[in-house]
Amino acid sequence: MAPLRIASIPGDGIGPEVVSATIQVLQQLSKTLGTFEIDFTHVPWGTDYYKKNGRYIPDDALTTLRQFDAVLFGAVGAPDVPDHVSLWGLLLAIRGPLQLYANVRPVRTFPGTKSPLDTAKKGIDWMLVRENSEGEYSGQGGRSHVGQQWEAATEVAMFTRVGIERIIRFAFETAQSRPKKQLTVVTKSNSMRNGMVLWDEIAASVAKEFPDVTWDKMLVDAMTVRMVMKPQSLDTIVGTNLHMDILSDLAAALAGSIGIAPSSNLDPTRKNPSMFEPVHGSAFDITGKGIANPVGTFWSAAEMLSWLGEKDASNKLLVCIEEVCAAGFVTADLGGSCNTQQVVDAVCAEIQKLGT
Ligand SMILES: NC(=O)c1ccc[n+]([C@@H]2O[C@H](COP(=O)([O-])OP(=O)(O)OC[C@H]3O[C@@H](n4cnc5c(N)ncnc54)[C@H](O)[C@@H]3O)[C@@H](O)[C@H]2O)c1
């Protein structure tokens, strides 16, 4: 059996804590099920690496990553480095060049998790699809008259027909694979009359290929209201890099905690390894305390197993995580009193039961 080759990039802050927790759980799953083998290679990129080498990743970083089946990522960002330097230095230096253009973020009310919404009595079950390679995060723009009173900066959002079409098609396919077969396309095409109008036009055109998917479109501001007031009216949601970055944090909070939110950075063409990471960042306020919620990374790892063809192992891992959460073994952000290792131990014990 060829092992799954995983590059693990723990990164900064609580990243190493949640990645190490997840490696323990995946190794236990592999040992108990015996249906797959998994090998982790530690890749030390992050702010410590940056401070020693003056850069977040080496020249041959993409070649290195292409040797693996997938990447498990923790978080990037440190209090003493500007966020745009760390984010562009590491995460965005991987997502864009590897063309991981589909950022998929399932959002579901987990057992043991409480939505703060009265309107979500039946819980939340959404699939968020974020364009992950261009748009507002294309890095286009610049600064002039630096240091002068009249200093100016531009931040240009770049939308391409290829970029929009491939993410909209991916979102329709995702919606089609879910029971509700329903998609909402989020834009801001009233005030942004170029790129966002192109999104609307392409959505209408691609929709014709998916007659079995019901779709509608929403302006991003109205979408925040709908997510809060009528959460049950939504299923799959697609939008731009910036819009879905913001909406997915809102979604995670509405489902109960950012600590459980997973994400997959996919290259749907499978030419490059895809990267799996929790939605949360470095969480400076709890770094080193051993109390970070590892569930977002566990769930991301389950998505990784599924992407790599290990669907049964993925489903079993998710069930074990849900059992543990339902039994109240949760961290403080979910109202519990467990530390990270106690959650790991509880999930490993639940996995061991699969083998009995
Ligand atoms: N994908 C990434 O690597 C990523 C994502 C977001 C932010 N960041 C970076 O992380 C740093 C901090 O950003 P931020 O404070 O805006 O967002 P954050 O997600 O790091 O933290 C926001 C809040 O959520 C809490 N939180 C986050 N993850 C948690 C977990 N697993 N368990 C329990 N509580 C958790 C934190 O304690 C904090 O109070 C910045 O440098 C930012 O650029 C990185």
Three-state DSSP at 344 gives helix
The DSSP line for 200-242 is HHHHHHHHTT-TTSEEEEEEHHHHHHHHHH-GGG--EEEE-HH
Check if 275 has its Cβ closer than 6 Å to any atom of ligand 1: no
pLDDT, position 86: 97
Structure-token pair, residue 99:
């063309």
CB-CB contact of 129 with 268 (8 Å): no
* Cα of 76 from ligand 1 centre, angstroms: 9
| The pLDDT of residue 290 | 97
174: Cβ–Cβ under 8 A, 6 or more apart, which residues?
A: 104, 127, 129, 183, 236
285 lines ligand 1 (CB under 6 A): yes
Question: SS3 of 296, please?
Answer: helix
Does residue 356 have a pLDDT over 80?
no
Give the nearest ligand 1 atom to 83 CA.
Answer: 43
> Residue 122's pLDDT is what?
80
Residue in the structure block whose two tokens are 């998505």: 303
CA 18 to ligand 1: nearest atom: 31
* Average model confidence (pLDDT) across the chain: 96
User: With a 6 A CB cut-off, is 283 part of the ligand 1 pocket?
Assistant: yes
With a 6 A CB cut-off, is 48 part of the ligand 1 pocket? no
Q: Is the CB of 195 under 6 A from ligand 1?
A: no
Distance (angstroms) between ligand 1 centre and the Cα of 36 equals 32
Contacts of 80 by beta carbon, 8 Å cutoff, 6+ apart: none
**What are the CA-CA distances from residue 80 to residues 55, 77, 133, 258, 286 (Å)?**
15, 9, 27, 23, 16
* Residue 296 vs residues 12, 75, 277, 340: alpha-carbon distances, Å: 16, 12, 8, 12
Residues of the chain with pLDDT > 70: what percent? 100
Q: What is the end-to-end Cα distance of the chain in Å, rounded? A: 23
Atom in ligand 1 nearest the alpha carbon of residue 76: 3
- Alpha carbon of 245 to ligand 1 centroid (Å): 13
**% of the chain exceeding 90 in pLDDT:** 92
Pairwise CA distance, residues 55 & 66, whole Å:
20
Q: Using pLDDT thresholds of 50, 70 and 90, give the confidence band for residue 90.
A: very high
For ligand 1, the distance from its centroid to the CA atom of residue 282, given in whole angstroms, is 5
pLDDT > 90? residue 110: no
Residues 6+ apart with CB under 8 A from 82: none
CB 34 within 8 A of CB 1: no
Cα separation of 95 and 201, whole Å? 26
